[in-house]
Structures are given as C-alpha cells and as structure tokens.
Structure 1
Amino acid sequence: MKSCREATRLMSESQERRLQLREQASLKLHLAMCAPCRNFGKQLSILRGISKSYAEGGPERTED
C-alpha cells in the first residue's frame, strides 16, 4: 500500500497529468482505506475549483 505522502503526491500530480494505470489502482486502494487522504482529495478539488473561478474572473458581482 502507498504511504499517505505518496498518495497525496499522486493526487497533486493527477491535476497536471493522467496517472498511469498502476498509479491509479494503488491510489484508489489507498483512498479506500485512508479517510485523511480522502479528505485531502476533497480539499484539493475545492481549491482547484476556486482557482479556476478566480482565473476566469470570479463570480459575477452585482452592484447595489
């Protein structure tokens, strides 16, 4: 089984490149057993969404 350090590295790298099949499989196995790493994955996804929104100009604002 991958260590948490290796799992979080793979999750980060998956944002930049497609993981190899064996990397995907070992990451899924680790995530099935590790709640803290699943939480990290959720946080990573949220941060990616926020960053994407910011890069696109953020949410539209209404003036009062």
Structure 2
Amino acid sequence: MTPLRRTCKEAAALLVAREDRELPLADRLALRMHLFACRACPVFARQLRIMRNAMSQWRHYSDEA
C-alpha cells in the first residue's frame, strides 16, 4: 500500500481521531485524498460533524431558554 493511500476503515479511524487531536501532515493529506475518491466516507464525515454540533448544543442547553 502506498504511504498516502488509506482504506475506508483507516479513513474512518482518522476522521474520529481528528476530533481529539491534530493529525500529522501525511495523515491529513491521505485523508483528504481518500475523501475525494470515496463516496461513503464523506457521508460519515458529515455525520460526525452533525453529532459533534448536536453534542455541543446539548452541553450548552438550559431550561431557561
């Protein structure tokens, strides 16, 4: 496997990991290339973003609103 080529499973792991930390340059490039070429992984990335935003709103929710 080439250094910048990732499987969907590896790309999903990188998507989750980037929620907690900054990825190294090689992983960021590999992820970007994979997301460009794959049909399913961008959907998963969008779902992660929606969940992150929902959790952020839930954390800041108050009954006073």
TM-score, reference length from structure 2:
0.86
- Unaligned runs of 5+ residues in structure 2 are none
Query: Which letter maps to 1:37?
Result: C
Q: Counterpart of 1:56? A: 60
Q: Counterpart of 1:33? A: 37
Percent of aligned positions that are identical: 30
Query: Which letter maps to 2:44?
Result: F
Whole-angstrom CA distance in 2 between matches of 1:25 and 1:35 = 17
Question: Deviation per CA, 1:21-48, whole angstroms, max 9, x where unpaired?
Answer: 0000000010000010000000100000
Which has more helix, going by share of residues?
Answer: 1
Query: Which letter maps to 2:21?
Result: R
Q: Counterpart of 2:6? A: 2
Q: Counterpart of 2:28? A: 24
